[in-house]
Structure formats: C-alpha cells, structure tokens
Amino acid sequence: MTKVVDSCVLVSALVDSGLDGAWSEAVVVEEPLIAPELVLVEASNVLRRLERSREISHVEASFAHASLLRLELDLFPFAPFAERVWELRENLTCYDAWYVAIAEAFGCQLATLDHRLSRASGPRCEIVTSPRSKGT
C-alpha cells in the first residue's frame, strides 16, 4: 500500500537502532513510498545535525546520506498541494501540511514519528506512528 513518509521516518530507518528505528525501517521497506520534494532536504539536514552533535560519526552520516539518496521515493512538488497546505495552516506548519495534503490527495496513510503531527486536528488522512510514539 502506498504510504507518505516524512523525514523523521527516513532518518530513523537509516540511523536509529532502537524501537522507532525498527518500526521506521519496516515502513521504508514497504513500497511504494511518496513524499514532498522537501523530504530529502529535511532528512539531509537532520543527518548533518546528528553528525555535528556527534550523535553519529562522519562515516555513519555519509553512509546514511548515500542510502537516503538511493531510496525509491516518488517526490511531489508543492504547487499542486498549495491550496490544501494553506487551509491547514491553523493547526500545522506548512511543511507538515504538505505531507498531509499529499496523503489526503492519494488516499493513503502518512507515517511519522512527529507526536504533535500525529495528534493534530484538521488532517483527513490516517496518520500512523511507532507504537512507542503513541504513548508519549
């Protein structure tokens, strides 16, 4: 089943060896995956931050980034979703709303580790998250 994935899920699948990482990896191996074009920039920036804070090594960051670029993702531009993104502005950032708008347009789930997004009002799509994330 097609799933929208956010950058939290992609990064977790690539570098997290814990429960969220295992859940995210299971999501990422499901095909097909779709996301806004923004996801690669967001995920790259998170990997940079993790490397700069020494949470992961230079080698781990470089390997994860190369793996990120090899993932099979169908990426979508902003313009077709701009109106719905704007409609969601009261409850979501425009970044998060872009993920939601894509999931709504395709009638599919949005996978995230973002607790705030998973509890937001306004989205008309199913938002799924790690079982561990639901309790926090």
pLDDT at 132: 77
Model confidence pLDDT, tens digit, residues 42-56: 999 999 999 999 999
pTM for this model (two decimals): 0.93
**What is the set of domains in the chain, with CATH numbers?**
3-134 (3.40.50.1010)
Each residue of 76-92: b (16+ CB within 10 Å) or e?
A: beeeebeebbeebeeeb
| Position 20 pLDDT exceeds 80 | yes
Element (H, E) at 87: helix 82-87
3 state SS for 31-72: CCEEEECHHHHHHHHHHHHHHHCCCCCHHHHHHHHHHHHHCC
- The DSSP symbol for 88 reads T
Residues 6+ away with beta carbon under 8 Å from 49: none
Q: What is the pLDDT of residues 83-116, one digit of tens each?
A: 999 999 999 999 999 999 999 999 999 999 999 9
- Average pLDDT score, the chain: 95
pLDDT score of 78 more than 90: yes
Q: What is the DSSP letter of 79?
A: G
**pLDDT at 135 exceeding the cut of 80:** no
The model's confidence at residue 133, banded by pLDDT at 50, 70 and 90, is low
